Amino acid sequence: MKVYDISRQLGENTPTWPGDTPFSYTVNWSKQHTGSVNVGSVKMSVHTATHVDSPFHFDENGKRMDELNLSIFMGPAFVVDVSSYETVELTHVEDIITQHPTKRILFKTNAWKKEEEFPTNIPTLSVDVVKLLGKMQTPLIGVDLPSVDDLDSKELPIHHALHQANISILEGLDLREVEEGEYELIALPLKLKRTDGSPVRAILVKN
């Protein structure tokens, strides 16, 4: 069994959305002062690095993080290599995706080139791809990007199309060391009450 860690590291150099809360870790009580333990705290946006968007993130009436079914975030997955496309069109992926109904689909773009810099331009999915995934009852898609939409988009058409198709969103993956193929995905969000997203530790398992 081979385990691939497809999570981006959280640290002081982890890039986040411009203007959003950066990651920080502070030791509030040191062992020197407590006599027994170090106790730290973390401050960050829930959309930092590898994370799940809950529908409430872009829809005032959408479900919050603690209302989503955990089974969505674990199970059979297929990594699709789309690294040669600026926009992922239906003709690029239709044949391979239709061979894997009901599996979680992870799109490997390799477009986030510099790990410690937030990208300025990213590829996106076409709405036709989302419609196909909806027909196939795909429970979740993942991308190795900070968003499924253009970075400057306010309308977020792909977020909304995925939501309408009942497909959950996993963003910020690191798929550089993963080849196209079938895996088991485990990407469980934290049990955060009423939030618009959650960081995850995402792994792929190859038997």
Query: Residue 77 has what pLDDT?
Result: 98
Q: Which domains does the chain have, with CATH numbers?
A: 2-8+45-206 (3.50.30.50)
Q: Which of 57, 92, 160, 163 is catalytic?
A: 57
Predicted confidence band of residue 58 (pLDDT cuts 50, 70, 90): very high
Query: Residue 76 has what pLDDT?
Result: 98
pTM: 0.96
- Of the chain, the percentage scoring pLDDT greater than 70 comes to 100
- For 5-16, what is the mean pLDDT? 97
Query: pLDDT, tens digit, for every residue of 150-200?
Result: 999 999 999 999 999 999 999 999 999 999 999 999 999 999 999 999 999
Cα separation, 18 vs 94, whole angstroms: 34
Query: Residue 27 has what pLDDT?
Result: 98
100 is catalytic: no
Query: Residue 170 has what pLDDT?
Result: 98
Query: Residue 40 has what pLDDT?
Result: 98
- For 69-85, what is the mean pLDDT? 97
Structure tokens at 206: 């190859």
Query: Residue 149 has what pLDDT?
Result: 97
Strand partners, 141: 105, 169
Predicted confidence band of residue 21 (pLDDT cuts 50, 70, 90): very high
Predicted confidence band of residue 79 (pLDDT cuts 50, 70, 90): very high
- For 94-103, what is the mean pLDDT? 96
Query: Residue 53 has what pLDDT?
Result: 98
Predicted confidence band of residue 48 (pLDDT cuts 50, 70, 90): very high
| Averaged confidence pLDDT in the chain | 97
